[in-house]
Chain A
Amino acid sequence: MQISDPARIRSALADATFRAYREAVIRLPPDVLRVIGQAAAAETNPVARGEFANILKNIAQAEKLGVPICQDTGVPVVYLTLPPEISLTRELYDAVADGVRKATREVPLRPNVVDPITRHNSGDNIGAGMPAIHIKPGERFTVTVFPKGAGAENVSRIGMLLPSQADQIERFVVETVCLAGSRPCPPVVIGVGIGGTFDGAAALAKEALLQPLDRMTEYERGIMGAANRLGIGPMGLGGDITVLAVKVKTAGCHTASLPVAVNIQCWANRHAMAWVKL
Protein backbone atom coordinates (compact mmCIF):
# COMPACT_ATOMS: atom_id res chain seq x y z
CA MET A 1 0.00 0.00 0.00
CA GLN A 2 1.39 3.42 -0.95
CA ILE A 3 1.37 6.00 1.83
CA SER A 4 0.31 9.26 0.22
CA ASP A 5 -0.09 11.85 2.92
CA PRO A 6 2.53 14.47 1.99
CA ALA A 7 2.11 16.57 5.15
CA ARG A 8 2.51 13.56 7.43
CA ILE A 9 5.55 12.27 5.55
CA ARG A 10 7.15 15.72 5.55
CA SER A 11 6.83 16.28 9.30
CA ALA A 12 7.89 12.72 10.18
CA LEU A 13 11.00 12.87 7.97
CA ALA A 14 11.89 16.37 9.23
CA ASP A 15 11.65 15.11 12.81
CA ALA A 16 13.78 12.02 12.09
CA THR A 17 16.40 14.18 10.34
CA PHE A 18 16.54 16.50 13.36
CA ARG A 19 16.91 13.56 15.78
CA ALA A 20 19.64 11.92 13.71
CA TYR A 21 21.52 15.22 13.34
CA ARG A 22 21.49 15.90 17.08
CA GLU A 23 22.62 12.36 17.85
CA ALA A 24 25.38 12.51 15.22
CA VAL A 25 27.05 15.70 16.45
CA ILE A 26 26.90 14.79 20.16
CA ARG A 27 27.61 11.01 20.31
CA LEU A 28 29.95 8.88 18.22
CA PRO A 29 28.77 5.47 16.94
CA PRO A 30 29.90 2.40 18.99
CA ASP A 31 32.29 1.08 16.31
CA VAL A 32 34.02 4.47 16.12
CA LEU A 33 34.36 4.58 19.92
CA ARG A 34 35.83 1.06 19.87
CA VAL A 35 38.58 1.86 17.35
CA ILE A 36 39.48 5.11 19.15
CA GLY A 37 39.66 3.18 22.46
CA GLN A 38 41.86 0.47 20.93
CA ALA A 39 44.15 3.04 19.33
CA ALA A 40 44.47 4.99 22.59
CA ALA A 41 45.49 1.77 24.38
CA ALA A 42 48.00 0.79 21.69
CA GLU A 43 49.71 4.20 21.29
CA THR A 44 53.21 4.38 22.86
CA ASN A 45 54.34 7.95 22.08
CA PRO A 46 53.89 10.11 25.23
CA VAL A 47 52.72 13.23 23.35
CA ALA A 48 50.27 11.14 21.31
CA ARG A 49 48.98 9.48 24.48
CA GLY A 50 48.16 12.96 25.81
CA GLU A 51 46.22 13.76 22.63
CA PHE A 52 44.24 10.52 22.93
CA ALA A 53 43.49 11.32 26.59
CA ASN A 54 42.04 14.69 25.51
CA ILE A 55 39.99 13.05 22.74
CA LEU A 56 38.50 10.49 25.16
CA LYS A 57 37.72 13.17 27.76
CA ASN A 58 36.14 15.34 25.07
CA ILE A 59 33.86 12.53 23.91
CA ALA A 60 32.72 11.99 27.52
CA GLN A 61 32.17 15.75 28.12
CA ALA A 62 30.11 16.18 24.94
CA GLU A 63 27.80 13.35 25.96
CA LYS A 64 27.54 14.55 29.58
CA LEU A 65 26.75 18.16 28.63
CA GLY A 66 24.72 17.32 25.51
CA VAL A 67 26.85 19.64 23.34
CA PRO A 68 28.54 19.04 19.98
CA ILE A 69 31.81 17.08 20.04
CA CYS A 70 33.43 19.69 17.77
CA GLN A 71 32.49 23.28 16.94
CA ASP A 72 32.77 22.44 13.23
CA THR A 73 29.42 20.70 12.97
CA GLY A 74 30.02 20.16 9.26
CA VAL A 75 27.78 20.30 6.23
CA PRO A 76 24.72 18.03 6.04
CA VAL A 77 25.25 14.84 4.03
CA VAL A 78 22.10 12.73 4.23
CA TYR A 79 21.24 9.18 3.09
CA LEU A 80 17.63 8.01 2.86
CA THR A 81 16.29 4.51 2.39
CA LEU A 82 12.76 4.30 1.03
CA PRO A 83 10.54 1.23 1.49
CA PRO A 84 8.18 0.29 -1.38
CA GLU A 85 5.21 2.17 0.14
CA ILE A 86 7.00 5.57 0.08
CA SER A 87 7.23 7.37 -3.27
CA LEU A 88 10.21 9.49 -4.25
CA THR A 89 8.82 13.05 -4.25
CA ARG A 90 10.01 16.63 -3.91
CA GLU A 91 8.55 16.66 -0.37
CA LEU A 92 11.28 14.31 0.83
CA TYR A 93 13.97 16.88 -0.05
CA ASP A 94 11.99 19.69 1.59
CA ALA A 95 11.46 17.56 4.70
CA VAL A 96 15.19 16.92 5.13
CA ALA A 97 15.86 20.66 4.73
CA ASP A 98 13.24 21.37 7.44
CA GLY A 99 15.06 18.99 9.78
CA VAL A 100 18.44 20.59 9.05
CA ARG A 101 17.04 24.10 9.76
CA LYS A 102 15.60 22.94 13.06
CA ALA A 103 18.86 21.24 14.06
CA THR A 104 20.81 24.40 13.20
CA ARG A 105 18.57 26.45 15.53
CA GLU A 106 18.09 24.01 18.36
CA VAL A 107 21.16 21.76 18.76
CA PRO A 108 22.66 24.36 17.87
CA LEU A 109 24.87 23.79 14.80
CA ARG A 110 27.33 26.31 13.41
CA PRO A 111 25.91 27.75 10.17
CA ASN A 112 28.57 26.53 7.73
CA VAL A 113 26.88 26.56 4.33
CA VAL A 114 27.82 29.44 2.02
CA ASP A 115 27.48 30.24 -1.69
CA PRO A 116 30.69 28.88 -3.27
CA ILE A 117 31.49 32.08 -5.20
CA THR A 118 30.03 35.00 -3.22
CA ARG A 119 30.69 33.20 0.12
CA HIS A 120 27.35 34.50 1.41
CA ASN A 121 26.27 32.41 4.42
CA SER A 122 22.63 31.29 4.31
CA GLY A 123 22.58 31.10 8.10
CA ASP A 124 20.58 27.85 8.20
CA ASN A 125 22.93 25.28 6.61
CA ILE A 126 20.78 25.17 3.45
CA GLY A 127 22.08 26.01 -0.01
CA ALA A 128 21.73 24.96 -3.65
CA GLY A 129 22.10 21.16 -3.57
CA MET A 130 22.73 21.30 0.18
CA PRO A 131 21.84 19.24 2.18
CA ALA A 132 23.42 16.66 -0.12
CA ILE A 133 20.74 13.93 -0.24
CA HIS A 134 21.30 10.39 -1.51
CA ILE A 135 18.29 8.08 -1.87
CA LYS A 136 18.19 4.29 -2.21
CA PRO A 137 15.45 1.67 -1.96
CA GLY A 138 15.31 -0.28 1.31
CA GLU A 139 13.19 -2.31 3.71
CA ARG A 140 12.56 0.50 6.19
CA PHE A 141 12.10 4.28 5.96
CA THR A 142 15.33 5.59 7.48
CA VAL A 143 17.47 8.72 7.45
CA THR A 144 21.21 8.72 8.10
CA VAL A 145 22.88 12.06 8.83
CA PHE A 146 26.62 12.27 8.18
CA PRO A 147 27.87 15.80 9.06
CA LYS A 148 31.18 16.38 7.28
CA GLY A 149 33.69 18.92 8.64
CA ALA A 150 35.96 20.94 6.38
CA GLY A 151 39.44 20.14 7.70
CA ALA A 152 39.39 16.52 6.60
CA GLU A 153 37.21 17.04 3.51
CA ASN A 154 39.70 19.63 2.20
CA VAL A 155 42.59 17.14 2.04
CA SER A 156 40.60 14.40 0.25
CA ARG A 157 41.77 13.47 -3.27
CA ILE A 158 40.74 11.66 -6.42
CA GLY A 159 43.06 10.09 -8.98
CA MET A 160 42.33 8.57 -12.38
CA LEU A 161 44.98 5.84 -12.30
CA LEU A 162 45.89 3.69 -15.27
CA PRO A 163 44.31 0.23 -15.46
CA SER A 164 47.84 -1.20 -15.06
CA GLN A 165 48.32 0.62 -11.73
CA ALA A 166 46.05 -1.45 -9.48
CA ASP A 167 49.11 -2.22 -7.34
CA GLN A 168 49.62 1.52 -6.79
CA ILE A 169 46.27 2.21 -5.12
CA GLU A 170 47.84 1.81 -1.67
CA ARG A 171 50.58 4.27 -2.59
CA PHE A 172 47.99 6.85 -3.69
CA VAL A 173 46.24 6.54 -0.31
CA VAL A 174 49.49 6.76 1.68
CA GLU A 175 50.57 9.79 -0.36
CA THR A 176 47.22 11.46 0.44
CA VAL A 177 47.80 10.91 4.18
CA CYS A 178 51.36 12.26 3.87
CA LEU A 179 50.26 15.41 2.02
CA ALA A 180 47.46 15.97 4.56
CA GLY A 181 49.82 15.98 7.56
CA SER A 182 48.28 17.61 10.64
CA ARG A 183 45.47 19.39 8.75
CA PRO A 184 42.62 16.81 8.90
CA CYS A 185 42.87 16.44 12.73
CA PRO A 186 44.38 12.94 12.77
CA PRO A 187 43.98 10.17 13.81
CA VAL A 188 41.83 9.87 10.70
CA VAL A 189 39.43 7.38 9.15
CA ILE A 190 39.94 6.78 5.43
CA GLY A 191 37.22 5.92 2.94
CA VAL A 192 38.53 4.61 -0.37
CA GLY A 193 36.33 4.35 -3.46
CA ILE A 194 37.81 2.21 -6.22
CA GLY A 195 36.23 1.94 -9.66
CA GLY A 196 32.96 3.25 -11.03
CA THR A 197 33.28 6.67 -12.66
CA PHE A 198 35.03 9.94 -11.72
CA ASP A 199 32.08 11.07 -9.59
CA GLY A 200 31.05 7.57 -8.56
CA ALA A 201 34.41 6.80 -6.96
CA ALA A 202 34.08 9.86 -4.71
CA ALA A 203 30.57 8.83 -3.66
CA LEU A 204 31.82 5.31 -2.88
CA ALA A 205 34.67 6.72 -0.77
CA LYS A 206 32.20 8.73 1.33
CA GLU A 207 29.81 5.78 1.75
CA ALA A 208 32.76 3.60 2.82
CA LEU A 209 33.16 5.83 5.91
CA LEU A 210 29.73 4.69 7.12
CA GLN A 211 30.71 1.01 7.22
CA PRO A 212 31.71 -0.62 10.55
CA LEU A 213 35.28 0.46 11.32
CA ASP A 214 36.09 -2.48 13.58
CA ARG A 215 35.81 -5.01 10.75
CA MET A 216 38.56 -4.60 8.18
CA THR A 217 39.75 -6.85 5.36
CA GLU A 218 43.41 -7.81 4.97
CA TYR A 219 43.64 -5.33 2.08
CA GLU A 220 42.29 -2.52 4.25
CA ARG A 221 44.64 -3.42 7.12
CA GLY A 222 47.57 -3.38 4.71
CA ILE A 223 46.80 0.18 3.61
CA MET A 224 46.34 1.25 7.24
CA GLY A 225 49.69 -0.24 8.25
CA ALA A 226 51.52 1.52 5.41
CA ALA A 227 49.96 4.88 6.30
CA ASN A 228 50.69 4.47 10.01
CA ARG A 229 54.39 3.95 9.26
CA LEU A 230 54.53 7.65 8.28
CA GLY A 231 54.47 8.45 12.02
CA ILE A 232 52.36 11.62 11.68
CA GLY A 233 50.39 10.71 14.81
CA PRO A 234 47.43 12.44 16.48
CA MET A 235 47.25 16.12 15.41
CA GLY A 236 50.54 15.79 13.51
CA LEU A 237 52.52 15.77 16.77
CA GLY A 238 54.01 12.33 16.01
CA GLY A 239 52.96 8.86 17.12
CA ASP A 240 52.15 5.28 16.17
CA ILE A 241 48.55 5.92 15.15
CA THR A 242 47.75 8.29 12.29
CA VAL A 243 44.94 6.16 10.83
CA LEU A 244 42.18 4.54 12.92
CA ALA A 245 40.65 2.53 10.07
CA VAL A 246 40.54 2.16 6.29
CA LYS A 247 37.32 1.16 4.55
CA VAL A 248 37.17 0.32 0.85
CA LYS A 249 34.16 0.20 -1.49
CA THR A 250 34.43 -0.89 -5.11
CA ALA A 251 32.32 -0.69 -8.25
CA GLY A 252 32.71 -1.97 -11.80
CA CYS A 253 34.55 0.42 -14.10
CA HIS A 254 35.60 0.89 -17.72
CA THR A 255 38.35 -1.46 -18.89
CA ALA A 256 40.44 1.61 -19.71
CA SER A 257 39.97 3.38 -16.31
CA LEU A 258 40.88 3.03 -12.67
CA PRO A 259 39.29 5.85 -10.62
CA VAL A 260 40.48 5.97 -6.99
CA ALA A 261 38.97 8.42 -4.49
CA VAL A 262 40.24 8.95 -0.95
CA ASN A 263 37.82 10.65 1.45
CA ILE A 264 39.56 11.62 4.66
CA GLN A 265 37.61 11.92 7.90
CA CYS A 266 38.82 13.30 11.24
CA TRP A 267 38.72 11.06 14.35
CA ALA A 268 35.16 12.28 14.97
CA ASN A 269 33.54 10.03 12.35
CA ARG A 270 30.09 11.34 13.25
CA HIS A 271 26.99 9.75 11.80
CA ALA A 272 23.61 8.57 13.07
CA MET A 273 20.56 6.82 11.66
CA ALA A 274 16.93 7.35 12.70
CA TRP A 275 13.71 5.55 11.76
CA VAL A 276 11.07 7.75 10.16
CA LYS A 277 7.99 7.14 12.31
CA LEU A 278 4.81 7.42 10.25
Chain B
Amino acid sequence: MNPKPVQLRTPLGDEILALHAGDHVELSGTVYTARDEAHLRMQQEGIPFEPRGAAIYHCGPVIQDKRVIAAGPTTSARMNELSDFLIGRGVRALIGKGGMGSRVRDQLKDRGIYLAFTGGCAALASSHMTLTGVFFEDLGMAEAVWVIGLDRLPLVVGIDSHENDLFDTVSRHAQEAFRRYRGL
Protein backbone atom coordinates (compact mmCIF):
# COMPACT_ATOMS: atom_id res chain seq x y z
CA MET B 1 0.00 0.00 0.00
CA ASN B 2 0.93 3.63 -0.40
CA PRO B 3 2.78 5.28 2.46
CA LYS B 4 0.70 7.74 4.44
CA PRO B 5 0.11 11.03 2.62
CA VAL B 6 2.16 14.02 3.78
CA GLN B 7 0.00 16.60 5.57
CA LEU B 8 0.37 20.16 4.25
CA ARG B 9 -1.26 23.34 5.49
CA THR B 10 -1.28 26.84 4.01
CA PRO B 11 0.56 29.17 4.16
CA LEU B 12 3.13 26.84 2.63
CA GLY B 13 6.82 27.22 3.39
CA ASP B 14 10.05 25.38 2.72
CA GLU B 15 8.54 22.04 3.82
CA ILE B 16 7.37 21.63 0.21
CA LEU B 17 10.98 21.57 -1.02
CA ALA B 18 11.34 18.13 0.58
CA LEU B 19 8.55 16.65 -1.56
CA HIS B 20 9.14 14.58 -4.69
CA ALA B 21 7.09 13.96 -7.80
CA GLY B 22 4.75 11.04 -7.10
CA ASP B 23 4.36 11.78 -3.36
CA HIS B 24 0.81 11.77 -2.04
CA VAL B 25 -0.18 14.76 0.06
CA GLU B 26 -3.30 16.06 1.78
CA LEU B 27 -3.73 19.83 1.69
CA SER B 28 -5.59 21.83 4.32
CA GLY B 29 -5.98 25.58 4.76
CA THR B 30 -6.98 28.00 2.01
CA VAL B 31 -6.90 27.83 -1.80
CA TYR B 32 -7.78 30.50 -4.33
CA THR B 33 -9.43 29.34 -7.56
CA ALA B 34 -8.17 30.95 -10.75
CA ARG B 35 -8.68 30.24 -14.43
CA ASP B 36 -7.60 32.20 -17.52
CA GLU B 37 -9.65 35.36 -16.88
CA ALA B 38 -8.66 35.64 -13.21
CA HIS B 39 -4.97 35.38 -14.13
CA LEU B 40 -5.34 38.21 -16.65
CA ARG B 41 -7.22 40.37 -14.13
CA MET B 42 -4.61 39.77 -11.40
CA GLN B 43 -1.83 40.71 -13.81
CA GLN B 44 -3.58 44.04 -14.46
CA GLU B 45 -4.99 44.91 -11.06
CA GLY B 46 -2.78 43.02 -8.64
CA ILE B 47 -3.27 39.94 -6.51
CA PRO B 48 -6.19 40.52 -4.12
CA PHE B 49 -4.83 38.16 -1.42
CA GLU B 50 -1.49 37.56 0.31
CA PRO B 51 0.45 35.57 -2.29
CA ARG B 52 3.31 34.44 -0.04
CA GLY B 53 2.82 30.76 0.76
CA ALA B 54 -0.50 30.65 -1.13
CA ALA B 55 -1.94 27.80 -3.20
CA ILE B 56 -3.80 28.44 -6.48
CA TYR B 57 -6.43 25.96 -7.71
CA HIS B 58 -7.15 25.80 -11.46
CA CYS B 59 -10.89 25.31 -11.14
CA GLY B 60 -14.19 26.81 -12.25
CA PRO B 61 -16.55 25.59 -9.54
CA VAL B 62 -20.33 25.34 -9.43
CA ILE B 63 -21.43 27.51 -6.47
CA GLN B 64 -25.02 27.54 -5.24
CA ASP B 65 -26.38 29.34 -2.13
CA LYS B 66 -22.82 30.19 -0.98
CA ARG B 67 -21.84 26.53 -1.04
CA VAL B 68 -19.35 24.67 -3.23
CA ILE B 69 -21.43 22.14 -5.19
CA ALA B 70 -18.87 20.79 -7.67
CA ALA B 71 -15.23 21.79 -7.94
CA GLY B 72 -13.09 19.47 -10.04
CA PRO B 73 -9.85 20.68 -11.61
CA THR B 74 -9.59 22.26 -15.04
CA THR B 75 -6.72 21.76 -17.53
CA SER B 76 -3.70 23.55 -16.06
CA ALA B 77 -1.77 23.83 -19.33
CA ARG B 78 -3.96 26.79 -20.35
CA MET B 79 -2.21 28.75 -17.59
CA ASN B 80 1.32 27.81 -18.77
CA GLU B 81 2.12 31.34 -19.92
CA LEU B 82 0.17 33.11 -17.18
CA SER B 83 1.74 31.85 -13.97
CA ASP B 84 5.16 33.63 -13.72
CA PHE B 85 3.90 36.57 -11.68
CA LEU B 86 2.22 34.35 -9.12
CA ILE B 87 5.28 32.21 -8.46
CA GLY B 88 7.45 35.35 -8.51
CA ARG B 89 5.30 36.90 -5.76
CA GLY B 90 5.62 33.88 -3.50
CA VAL B 91 2.82 31.46 -4.48
CA ARG B 92 4.15 28.02 -3.52
CA ALA B 93 1.67 25.58 -5.05
CA LEU B 94 -0.38 25.36 -8.24
CA ILE B 95 -3.15 22.73 -8.28
CA GLY B 96 -4.94 21.35 -11.33
CA LYS B 97 -5.06 18.51 -13.84
CA GLY B 98 -2.92 17.36 -16.73
CA GLY B 99 0.38 19.01 -15.74
CA MET B 100 2.07 22.18 -16.99
CA GLY B 101 4.77 23.18 -19.46
CA SER B 102 8.56 23.29 -19.06
CA ARG B 103 8.42 27.06 -18.39
CA VAL B 104 6.42 26.47 -15.20
CA ARG B 105 8.70 23.58 -14.24
CA ASP B 106 11.67 25.95 -14.46
CA GLN B 107 9.90 28.61 -12.40
CA LEU B 108 9.00 26.12 -9.69
CA LYS B 109 12.65 25.08 -9.24
CA ASP B 110 13.68 25.62 -5.59
CA ARG B 111 10.44 27.54 -5.02
CA GLY B 112 7.24 25.62 -5.43
CA ILE B 113 5.31 22.55 -6.57
CA TYR B 114 2.51 21.52 -8.91
CA LEU B 115 -0.12 19.31 -7.32
CA ALA B 116 -2.47 17.14 -9.41
CA PHE B 117 -6.06 16.49 -8.42
CA THR B 118 -8.01 13.73 -10.16
CA GLY B 119 -9.93 15.04 -13.17
CA GLY B 120 -13.70 14.69 -12.97
CA CYS B 121 -13.73 14.32 -9.18
CA ALA B 122 -15.96 17.35 -8.61
CA ALA B 123 -18.16 15.82 -5.91
CA LEU B 124 -15.19 14.47 -3.94
CA ALA B 125 -13.51 17.88 -4.07
CA SER B 126 -16.57 19.72 -2.78
CA SER B 127 -16.87 17.33 0.16
CA HIS B 128 -13.46 18.61 1.37
CA MET B 129 -14.36 22.32 0.88
CA THR B 130 -15.98 25.28 2.62
CA LEU B 131 -16.56 28.53 0.77
CA THR B 132 -15.08 31.51 2.66
CA GLY B 133 -15.01 34.39 0.16
CA VAL B 134 -14.75 35.66 -3.39
CA PHE B 135 -12.83 38.22 -5.47
CA PHE B 136 -13.67 39.45 -8.99
CA GLU B 137 -17.19 38.01 -8.85
CA ASP B 138 -18.03 40.12 -11.94
CA LEU B 139 -16.00 37.61 -14.02
CA GLY B 140 -18.79 35.09 -13.54
CA MET B 141 -19.03 31.87 -11.59
CA ALA B 142 -16.44 29.86 -13.52
CA GLU B 143 -13.82 32.62 -13.75
CA ALA B 144 -14.08 34.41 -10.37
CA VAL B 145 -11.45 33.89 -7.66
CA TRP B 146 -13.22 31.87 -4.95
CA VAL B 147 -11.61 31.62 -1.54
CA ILE B 148 -12.08 28.07 -0.32
CA GLY B 149 -11.23 26.41 2.97
CA LEU B 150 -9.78 22.93 2.46
CA ASP B 151 -9.84 19.97 4.78
CA ARG B 152 -7.30 17.34 3.68
CA LEU B 153 -7.83 17.37 -0.10
CA PRO B 154 -6.01 14.27 -1.50
CA LEU B 155 -3.43 15.30 -4.12
CA VAL B 156 -0.29 13.97 -5.74
CA VAL B 157 2.90 15.92 -6.47
CA GLY B 158 3.04 16.15 -10.28
CA ILE B 159 6.04 18.54 -10.53
CA ASP B 160 8.42 18.98 -7.60
CA SER B 161 10.86 21.80 -6.88
CA HIS B 162 13.80 19.74 -8.23
CA GLU B 163 12.62 19.74 -11.88
CA ASN B 164 11.07 16.27 -11.66
CA ASP B 165 7.89 16.25 -13.75
CA LEU B 166 5.82 13.09 -13.59
CA PHE B 167 3.58 14.08 -16.54
CA ASP B 168 6.58 14.80 -18.77
CA THR B 169 8.29 11.53 -17.81
CA VAL B 170 5.13 9.50 -18.51
CA SER B 171 4.55 11.30 -21.81
CA ARG B 172 8.12 10.58 -23.00
CA HIS B 173 7.76 6.91 -22.05
CA ALA B 174 4.44 6.69 -23.92
CA GLN B 175 5.99 8.16 -27.07
CA GLU B 176 8.90 5.70 -26.84
CA ALA B 177 6.46 2.83 -26.34
CA PHE B 178 4.51 3.95 -29.42
CA ARG B 179 7.68 4.05 -31.53
CA ARG B 180 8.53 0.51 -30.40
CA TYR B 181 4.96 -0.62 -31.16
CA ARG B 182 5.30 0.75 -34.70
CA GLY B 183 8.58 -1.16 -35.03
CA LEU B 184 10.66 1.98 -35.48
User: Which A residues form the contact surface with B (CB < 8 A)?
Assistant: 46-47, 49-51, 53-55, 57-58, 61-62, 65, 67-72, 108, 110, 151, 171, 174-175, 178, 181-183, 185, 226, 229-238, 266-268
Are the C-beta atoms of A67 and B182 separated by less than 8 Å? no
Are the C-beta atoms of B118 and A238 separated by less than 8 Å? no
Query: What's the least CB distance linking A268 to chain B, in Å?
Result: 5
How many Å lie between the Cα of A182 and that of B172 in the bound state?
12
In this complex, the member of B24, B64, B121, B166 whose beta carbon has the largest number of chain A beta carbons within 10 angstroms is B121
How many Å lie between the Cα of A182 and that of B114 in the bound state?
15
Binds A, one of B67-75, B84-92, B103-111: B67-75
Query: What's the least CB distance linking A36 to chain B, in Å?
Result: 11
* Chain A hits for B174, CB < 8 A: 178, 181, 230-232
B136 near A: Cβ within 8 Å?
no
Supply 19 further A-B pairs (C-beta < 8 A) apart from A46-B2, A235-B119.
A46-B22, A50-B154, A51-B118, A58-B118, A61-B123, A67-B122, A70-B72, A71-B61, A71-B70, A174-B181, A182-B99, A182-B170, A185-B120, A231-B170, A235-B97, A236-B98, A236-B99, A236-B170, A237-B158
Are the C-beta atoms of B178 and A174 separated by less than 8 Å? yes
Are the C-beta atoms of B70 and A67 separated by less than 8 Å? yes
Query: What's the least CB distance linking A166 to chain B, in Å?
Result: 17
* Chain A hits for B126, CB < 8 A: 61, 65, 67
* Chain B hits for A71, CB < 8 A: 60-62, 70-72, 122
Are the C-beta atoms of A58 and B167 separated by less than 8 Å? no
B43 near A: Cβ within 8 Å?
no
List 10 A-B pairs, minimum CB-CB distance, nearest first. A185-B119, A58-B124, A62-B123, A58-B121, A54-B118, A61-B123, A71-B70, A238-B170, A70-B120, A230-B174
Are the C-beta atoms of B62 and A182 separated by less than 8 Å? no
Query: What's the least CB distance linking A169 to chain B, in Å?
Result: 14
* Chain A hits for B41, CB < 8 A: none
Partner of B177, one of A49, A185, A229: A229
* Chain B 144-170 near chain A by CB (<8 Å), digits 1 or 0: 000000000010101000000011011
Query: What's the least CB distance linking B119 to chain A, in Å?
Result: 4
Are the C-beta atoms of B166 and A50 separated by less than 8 Å? no
Query: What's the least CB distance linking B25 to chain A, in Å?
Result: 10
B171 near A: Cβ within 8 Å?
yes
Beyond A174-B178, A232-B174, whether A68 also contacts B122 by CB under 8 A is yes
Count residues on chain B whose CB falls below 8 Å from chain A CBs.
42
* Chain A hits for B166, CB < 8 A: 47, 237-238
How many Å lie between the Cα of A46 and that of B182 in the bound state?
29
How many Å lie between the Cα of A49 and that of B169 in the bound state?
18
Are the C-beta atoms of B98 and A183 separated by less than 8 Å? yes
How many Å lie between the Cα of A235 and that of B75 in the bound state?
11
Query: What's the least CB distance linking B140 to chain A, in Å?
Result: 10
Are the C-beta atoms of A266 and B170 separated by less than 8 Å? no
6 sample A-B contacts, Cβ–Cβ < 8 Å, listed by A number? A51-B118, A58-B120, A61-B124, A65-B123, A71-B61, A236-B167
Are the C-beta atoms of B22 and A47 separated by less than 8 Å? yes
Are the C-beta atoms of B98 and A235 separated by less than 8 Å? yes
Beyond A47-B166, A237-B156, A267-B120, whether A231 also contacts B173 by CB under 8 A is yes
B175 near A: Cβ within 8 Å?
yes
